[in-house]
Amino acid sequence: MNQSPDISVIVLTYNQQDTIARTIDSILSQQLPDGKSLEIVVSDDASTDSTRQIVEQMAAERPDVVRLLPGAPNKGVVTNYFSTLAQCRGRYITDCSGDDFMTDPLRLATQMELLDSDSDLIMVLTRFSKYEISTGTLIPSPLPKGHELTIINGAELLTPLLAHAPVNEIGPIHLSTALLRADSVKRALAKEGDMIFNPDFGCEDLPLLAALFAGAGAAQRDNNRVALLPRDTMAYSVMNPAQITASSPTPRAAIYYASTLRATAILARHYGVDFGSLYPYFRRVSAHAARLALRSRSRRATDILQSTLREFPQIKVSPATRLLVMTGHLLLSKD
């Protein structure tokens, strides 16, 4: 692994002993042109199961490709992602979570060819399938076939991203489907580092994509194009909706939704996105987060929601949601 690879694939994992081998095998199955190479950069976030031992064995079998970073105390997903990103050596970067997997063996080759052929492209995005964990069912993207490759200015994707809304050609925007130009990521971090790397956001994908779509990664103003490839290339693991409904809400879930809502508001303000265009998202997620916070008795989630609604009066929520937040704050402040 002395020569720098063309592609770096980030794999973040934590307690995923049942799926991590599948993830890495799916990346190893990628078919690249002769003379092209990839590295798989794995960061285990202090797993307490046998995840690390499994990756150590795979790295020993394929030391030319699989690189397991040294063990460290648990960092959380945001810090873990960006510290792993800093270790990547490829011209292009993507990621695949330790419970997801790639489904198209030509995905990376196709994306790399597009980026190689157009220096104005900062990334190539694709569709994705969902993998239902409980049943082992792979659910393809519901979008109709027939779309052609589309290339648009990244700025056109900023509002759909922050609205958490689908894009016609590819559906929801998912960072793990993207092959990113490494130089664009470096420029974005240099310009918008504080806005991109914020552990309080609770996510790494939303702030990074927002900065790139807003043009922070472009070498010049007009060099901010994104290719939309309308085919499924990876599987995103999800729980069965019935299981989610039947399960007890957790403080972690409440904090995630509250933090993501706050991150969305901060990013929208920073990049000048009209809050009115995000109204359906704010209304839906604020209500969901408020219910989760109250049912899971998460004072932190309630505090995040209350501070966000105070700081951003332009976020319009229903009276019922505002009452839920106030009730949660009063009840949980006594815990």
Q: Residue 247's pLDDT is what?
A: 57
Q: Which of 305, 309, 311 is nearest to 255 (CA)?
A: 305
Mean pLDDT (whole number) for 51-71? 97
Computed over every residue of the chain, the mean pLDDT equals: 94
Residue 219 has pLDDT above 90, yes or no: no
DSSP codes of every residue in 78-140: HHHHHHHHTT--SSEEEE--TT-EE--TTHHHHHHHHHHH-TTEEEEEEEEEEEETTTTEEE-
Decide: helix, strand or coil at residue 52.
helix
Q: Residue 239's pLDDT is what?
A: 76
Residue 242 has pLDDT above 60, yes or no: no
β-strands 179-181, 92-95 pairing: antiparallel
Q: Residue 241's pLDDT is what?
A: 54
Residues making up the chain, counted from first to last = 335
CA distance 287 to 269: 21
The pLDDT tens digits of the residues spanning 82-124 come to: 999 999 999 999 999 999 999 999 999 999 999 999 999 999 9
Mean pLDDT (whole number) for 136-143? 94
H helix and E strand count, the chain? 12, 10
Supply the DSSP symbol for 171. B
Backbone angles phi, psi at 137, to 5 degrees: -95, 130
Q: Residue 249's pLDDT is what?
A: 76
Asked if 121 and 181 count as a contact pair (C-beta separation under 8 A), the reply is: yes
- 176: how many CB neighbours lie within 10 A of its CB? 19
The pLDDT tens digits of the residues spanning 257-287 come to: 999 999 999 999 999 999 999 999 999 999 9
Residue 246 has pLDDT above 80, yes or no: no
> Residues near 123 by Cβ (< 8 Å), separated by ≥ 6?
115, 154, 178, 179, 180, 181, 184, 212, 226, 227
Supply the DSSP symbol for 64. T
